[in-house]
Chains A and B, each alone.
Chain A
Amino acid sequence: MKAKILIANRGEIAIRIAKACEDLGHDFVMIYTDADKDSEHVVRYADQTGKDQKVWRISSYTDPNEILSIADHTSCTAIHPGYGFFSEDFRFARRVTVRDRPLIFIGPKWEVIKDLGDKINTKKVANELGIPTIPGTSAPIYNEMEAESVAEKLLLEQREQGISDPSILVKAAAGGGGMGIEEVHRLEQFRQVYREVKNYAKRQFGDGGVLIETCLRDYNHLEVQLLCSQHGERIHFGTRNCTIQSTGRQKRLEAAPGFDDSCFNYAFDANDVLEKVVDYSLKLAAHVRYDNVGTWEWIVARNGQPYLLEVNTRIQVENDVSARISYYKKKQPNLIREQIRVALGAKIGYSQRKIKFKGACIEFRIVAEDTGRDFAPWIGKITRFDFPKHDWSAVYTQVPSDRHYDIPSDFDPNLALALVWGDNIAQAKERGRAFLEEVFIEGETSAGEPMMTNLQYLAENIDRLLTF
């Protein structure tokens, strides 16, 4: 069945989805806002007009009326939400599928997003199944006094465990992707931070609910990549490690597999822990009858104790890191293609046994930012943007290399995702260093100051990968 897919997203992921549509023989339509008019995801497809028009301007990526209106006007049959925006919004997924002219939502069914897309619900379901989660609130708090009393209890518990500098995390309940999270060390700081997070959550997510959790230190942050179908098939593509993040908890370097004994002398059996988090993830997926791609996020303490953090019920930025260490019929799969296929009703068509894991992969998230100043976003014009090409690397970007480009201030200043892979983690690291040496990015601010990127930070942190 040939589908016509509205890509309800922007930037590099919109381009990756468009490419996957082309590979599968499906037609597609792009949307964009004025701030993105110079992005590659727009310019590359802007030459078609009339009934073949591929790109449509909207007021906001978060206006469902406009998105559905364009889907109807252009006779689309499905909507791909990408990541962020509507990708984990069960109301949107429901609205797409339950209407006079139903469309296919390329993601899990809305009931599953409702169960797992909300980290509070996830925690509740996981606890029911005996899957370990981080100590803290299991429902959003809106009352300052109540929040303060929870904070006090969690800090006290840590002190009783002998932790010398206990702390808690105050999180926007409706947030995600590391946004709206603050750490509090002392109770007297709490009220101010609580108010700031609450205000931020209201502004950014429309809901001022806040979660409070014990802050675990000295941990690794792992991810398990799953692919499930509407026919009850459930397979995994291994684990990733995304411990190296910015101070705003945005991922910067990510590697697969999740642990490697050549990188660190772990105090636990690494393979055993990886197997455990995969098994727990599959158990939860089976329980909720998960039916698309998804990422199960885990915290693993230095002693090897895993805690389920949340489930991302969508394709994740870093999906390709897993794909590059997975082989089916000796080829690396494309998880966006797989996601579209299963959402359109196809079977996965192969079992876990057919997937062979080999080698290691590292992804660098290249961002315009000042890593020395709390990863402050950098704004300006990019005047040169060149990446090397190798048969062991891939680059995904919306930044053009043939013209100047103003970074839009409405979004994160992510410039590109660069992946390198090798036969083992040592080779991947070596190639990663070589790759970063060959990258050229130049630009300037409106005041003529030179561009800032995190390239040096990425290079300096390669050796920290997969360590505690």
Chain B
Amino acid sequence: MPTPMRYIDEYRDPGLARKLLDEIRRKATRRWTIMEICGGQTHSILRNGLDQLLPESIELVHGPGCPVCVTPLESIERALAIAAREEVIFTSFGDMLRVPGNAKDLFMVRSTGGDVRIVFSPLDALQIARDNPSKEVVFFAVGFETTAPANAMAVWQAAREGRENFSVLVSQVMVPPAMRTILSSPGNRVQGFLAAGHVCAVMGYEEYEPVAREFHVPIVPTGFEPVDLLAGILKTVELLEEGRAEVVNRYGRVVSREGNPVAREIMAKVFEVIDRPWRGIGMIPDSGLGLREAFARFDAEKKFHVSNICARESPLCMSGSVLQGMLKPDGCPAFAKECTPAHPLGATMVSSEGACAAYYNYHTTVS
């Protein structure tokens, strides 16, 4: 028996998972619709088949918390345009390389001569800029609040070093405004939320308290392992059954009410809140982060004059409804027909944590 992986394997314990499932079955007296915001949680739920094990009364709908999925098409097109330039080394997390623009993705840019490189950390992109002073190094700064501190630090550090050949193409988004959009939508079915544990690691859960009050929904921050997810679902069901619209933390080892103030401070120094379009959903006011004026020289959109690039989505793609929990991926007419991971119409089919791709990869219904 190999040594358990600490803080992971305890939370993958099948016995504990079964007990929690049992408790959920016992506690749920009626149908409840719960949204897990985070695509990483969707991935874990489907990968472990937790959706198959939950009682029928609990319906999980998959939320928009996947940066790959919600990065707007025009940002992708701008990335492709910048990456194709001769003087540019374009760096990105591996996630973004297969996201299709209108006609191509970053892999295709690489195959036609673009210098596109995968990095694990934004600081690795900055290192590439140090190593290649004659090149323009651009980092595709996508992500939610979890990734914002990392992206902010790369810019902060570049400014400190006076590194002029480094810039970032920013597509940063935030969870609470998206939750409000979903809850305000006339077609909303979501009654309770699992909040994304790693977003809350940075932001804390204080900012969810007004959302819970205003829309009368319970919100439970939780982690990504099966036991974490099931404990989160159990708590959400308990709150729903008791009619309590509260925020209750189920990821105490990582999440506190105030989050990580040091990380938030650098984020706030580098970024400001802006309106941001979400792929499939549209413009959500105050839902994004953009570089502050003081860091404008690191803005790749300005540096390469790509702000004017616009793009239009495939009319067949219904990812907007999927991202808002109104449609299950396999309810889309194009699902697994015109749209597959090899030929995705929308980003939800690209990202391994996109709801459509997760359904395609893990779903067990065999036709």
A binds B: no
